[in-house]
Structure 1
Amino acid sequence: MIEMVGSSHALEAELGVASTDPQRLIRTLRVFVDGDSRRPLSSASLGTLNILYFALMELGIQQKLLKEIAHFILTIDEPEAHLHPHLQRLIFKRLIESADDTQTVFVTTQSPHIASSVGPRNLILLRNEGGATRALAASEANLTQAEWDDISRYLDVTRSEIVFARRVLLVEGYAEQAIIPHLAQLHGFDLDKSGVSVCAIHGTHFLAYLKFCRALGIPCAVITDGDIHVDKKGEQKQAGALRAQRFLTALGEKGKPADSGIFVGGTTFEYDLLQASNRNLAESVAALKELATTPKAIRDIELWGEDDPGYDQCMSMIKRVGGKGRYANALVSRQMDLPDYLRSALEYVVEQ
């Protein structure tokens, strides 16, 4: 209390640090984020606000689990908006790992960061089939634990595009992944417009990926090398054709491999491409000469002239100039023809 005394009258006044009205007091409270930075929520990003909302919501649900409810279902629609990729993975890994008998979490997303962090068995794909939505669960794929582990390692953030694609073209390695989209564009196949993703599995173990795509209802095709070898009897055998037949048997499918979307080359992708036409031969040789750094390698290439150097010399030279990846990058800008089996594979996957 302050009392002010004047000549003719006295004035009394009270001083206080805040309103005594509880409601007004609550409205003056402020929440700050970023620790010592003490940023008010009004200046926080939308991503930060989303994280805070998730945390408060989960905290409230956990408190209710102790007293009021036995189980809750949490559904989150496209939570990746405005979230840094690291935060996307961190938050949703924790959500999945903390799930137990008291909670079920559904997340609808278009983020490969989230898809790569939750494990392939947890993926459910919604597809439009005949105007109706069909839900397909990856967990229905008949895979061994080793195959699940392989797919889990494969589906990193760059390869998780496989589960968002309308159609998938599975190939062996980087060379096919780099060159085939270029060839497709040259010859009138618009892979982006058709929703086709070209995915390299870096090997020939396609079976697990075929099962995975079939479980999710994703139309897919496979391109694999012929891999000719000489058996103990001195006879040439095409390992690629035998591989394709094993895939059909394991999938329980009949007919020709191409009928099930499995396309086998003659030898290897690089040499099949060189052999497809005279133009391809000239472009391939020019690319090799461009990459050659030693006088001997350049002379060896010049000795070929305009002739096919043969499989062994071709593959040896690719190795000498830096390997398949470097060679593939040199071919991407060149005008080349499509080998027949690649054209058939592209037609198959685009029409699915």
Structure 2
Amino acid sequence: MATNSSLQHALERLELTFAPEQGRSVATRRGLGYNNALFMAAELLLLGKQGFSPLLLIEEPEAHLHPQLQSRVVDLLTERSSGSGAVQVIVTTHSPNIASSVPVEQLSLVSRGAVFSLAPQHTHLDAFDYAFLSRFLDVTKANLFFARAVAIVEGAAEAVLLPTLASCLGHSLSRSGVSVVNVGTVGLFRYSRIFQRADNTILPIPVACITDRDIAPRSADEAMRKKLPWLAELDDKQVAKHVAARRKHDNGSVRTFVSDWWTLEYDLAAASWVMATVMHKAVSAAAFSRTAWPTEQDLAGIEETATKEIETWQLDGDCLETAALKIYQPLRLGGVRKPIAAQHAARLLRGTVLRPEDVPPYLVDAFTYLCGAPRR
């Protein structure tokens, strides 16, 4: 039998109490999740009293628990699985909250009936990667552990826009079980190495790292180029070397899809006049949004003006590269936010059917890799 003091300690770790609040009975305060937490705490205490090496198996401890209590349960399980009288605990979960609370090296992926340990001897992750992931792999990114396929992107703009863009091409990221993970421009390949095995086993989980080429086009002036490589100063071999460097981490199920020219927004505008029109409307709306969120009437006026400007550029003989530079300039130099432009672009594209030739080839290839053939 567990002592009162040990039971009290376990309850304190979970921040639970039996004391009724004024005017409310204990029975009305305790739900299924609360009872599950109490049961796990009791089992841990009882197992700790056994003379043999105890083992506790828990299926989905997150059931009926709000996220904060899930973290408390993980803390308790971690505490009781170390030190004297330790209990070996094996947990299965579908909770990103729990997955993000446990060190990556203590996790195992389960996919198509196979188990893949993420311990150091089994992955391409090194000590710096594990330390990095312990800092940055939060609950919003931990959904990658439960995905059928993973798109790792560099920013919020990609995370906002790519699902809608894929849908316009006949793909459904949600139906295909694709998690889009925004890593915020850093550590793209630290996350992808989670899925690369030391023995070169190929996980049945396609992982697409979607990244910018970051080579300024020939017509970009010095202000637009900033410190980026300039296509006018590179030959084909140098460009190929630049792209190959971005793909050097590819291995197993991990593939890197590099933009065809510069960056997501520029490449979309340069892909076709259809996308140039969408992006010009979106960037114009984002520029307006710096001071106030546009009303439907505002948007109608903004979009009409943007459409007329596109038509004028075409009549003047502008090529797509020139138009794309004009469209991208407010994002590059004018302080217009890319995520807001992506939000407007997603709104404009919703329900639209696009042809593959309307969209940058690297995105078409990435969507096909993640989802298979498009469905119409």
What TM-score bracket applies, with the shorter chain setting the length?
0.7 to 0.9
| Structure 2 residue corresponding to 1:212, chosen from 184, 188, 194 | 194
Mapped partners of 2:135, 2:117: distance in 1: 19
SS in 2 for 1:185: helix
Residues 1:349 and 2:370 are matched in the alignment: yes
Residues 1:155 and 2:168 are matched in the alignment: no
CA RMSD of aligned residues (A): 3.0
Residues 1:78 and 2:60 are matched in the alignment: yes
Residues 1:340 and 2:361 are matched in the alignment: yes
In structure 1, what is the equivalent of residue 105 of structure 2?
A: 121
| Structure 1 residue corresponding to 2:38, chosen from 25, 28, 52 | 52
Residues 1:264 and 2:258 are matched in the alignment: yes
Greater RCO, 1 or 2 (C-alpha within 8 Å, sep 6+): 2
Distance change (3 Å), C-alpha of 1:240 and 1:72? farther
Mapped partners of 1:90, 1:142: distance in 2: 31
**Structure 1 residue 214: deviation in Å?**
2.7
TM-score, with normalisation over the residues of structure 1?
A: 0.76
Select between 73-82 and 205-214 the one with higher mean Cα deviation.
205-214
SS in 1 for 2:61: coil
Deviations 1:168-217 (A, max 9, x none): 11121111111110011111101111111111222263322222123492
Contact 1:41 1:49 in 2 (8 A): no
Select between 49-58 and 311-320 the one with higher mean Cα deviation.
311-320
Mapped partners of 1:350, 1:303: distance in 2: 36
| Structure 2 residue corresponding to 1:247, chosen from 246, 249, 253 | 249
Distance change (3 Å), C-alpha of 1:316 and 1:173? same
The one-letter amino acid paired with 2:103 is G
In structure 1, what is the equivalent of residue 212 of structure 2?
A: 225
Mapped partners of 2:275, 2:168: distance in 1: 13
**Structure 1 residue 286: deviation in Å?**
1.7
Mapped partners of 2:341, 2:29: distance in 1: 51
Mapped partners of 2:256, 2:164: distance in 1: 21
Note the 1:1-352 alignment, pairs <5 A: 33-34=18-19, 37=22, 39-41=25-27, 44-64=30-50, 68-69=51-52, 71-100=53-82, 102-128=86-112, 133-139=113-119, 140-203=122-185, 205-215=187-197, 217=203, 218-228=205-215, 229-230=228-229, 234-235=233-234, 237-238=238-239, 241-248=243-250, 251=251, 261-265=255-259, 266-293=261-288, 305-306=312-313, 307=318, 308=320, 309=322, 313-319=326-332, 320=334, 322-335=336-349, 337-351=358-372
Mapped partners of 1:40, 1:291: distance in 2: 52
Larger Rg: 1
Mapped partners of 2:42, 2:185: distance in 1: 46
Mapped partners of 2:213, 2:167: distance in 1: 24
Mapped partners of 2:151, 2:108: distance in 1: 20
Count residues with an aligned counterpart: 301
SS in 2 for 1:95: helix
SS in 2 for 1:34: coil
The one-letter amino acid paired with 1:318 is L
Contact 1:170 1:198 in 2 (8 A): yes
Mapped partners of 2:190, 2:341: distance in 1: 29
Contact 1:204 1:224 in 2 (8 A): no
Mapped partners of 2:153, 2:29: distance in 1: 47
**Structure 1 residue 317: deviation in Å?**
0.5
Mapped partners of 1:240, 1:173: distance in 2: 21
Distance change (3 Å), C-alpha of 1:34 and 1:113? farther
Mapped partners of 2:276, 2:359: distance in 1: 12
SS in 1 for 2:58: strand
Distance change (3 Å), C-alpha of 1:303 and 1:185? closer
Select between 162-171 and 43-52 the one with higher mean Cα deviation.
43-52
Deviations 1:137-190 (A, max 9, x none): 111213222211222333211211100001111121111111110011111101
Mapped partners of 2:131, 2:206: distance in 1: 22
SS in 1 for 2:248: helix
Select between 161-170 and 219-228 the one with higher mean Cα deviation.
219-228
Distance change (3 Å), C-alpha of 1:47 and 1:205? closer
Contact 1:33 1:39 in 2 (8 A): no
SS in 1 for 2:170: coil
Q: Which runs of 5+ in 2 are unaligned?
A: 1-16, 216-227, 291-301
Select between 138-147 and 213-222 the one with higher mean Cα deviation.
213-222
Mapped partners of 1:221, 1:42: distance in 2: 48
SS in 2 for 1:74: strand
Q: Which runs of 5+ in 1 are unaligned?
A: 1-31, 254-258
Larger fraction in strand: 1
Distance change (3 Å), C-alpha of 1:240 and 1:120? farther
Contact 1:227 1:240 in 2 (8 A): no
Mapped partners of 2:324, 2:26: distance in 1: 68
**Structure 1 residue 33: deviation in Å?**
1.6
**Structure 1 residue 94: deviation in Å?**
3.0
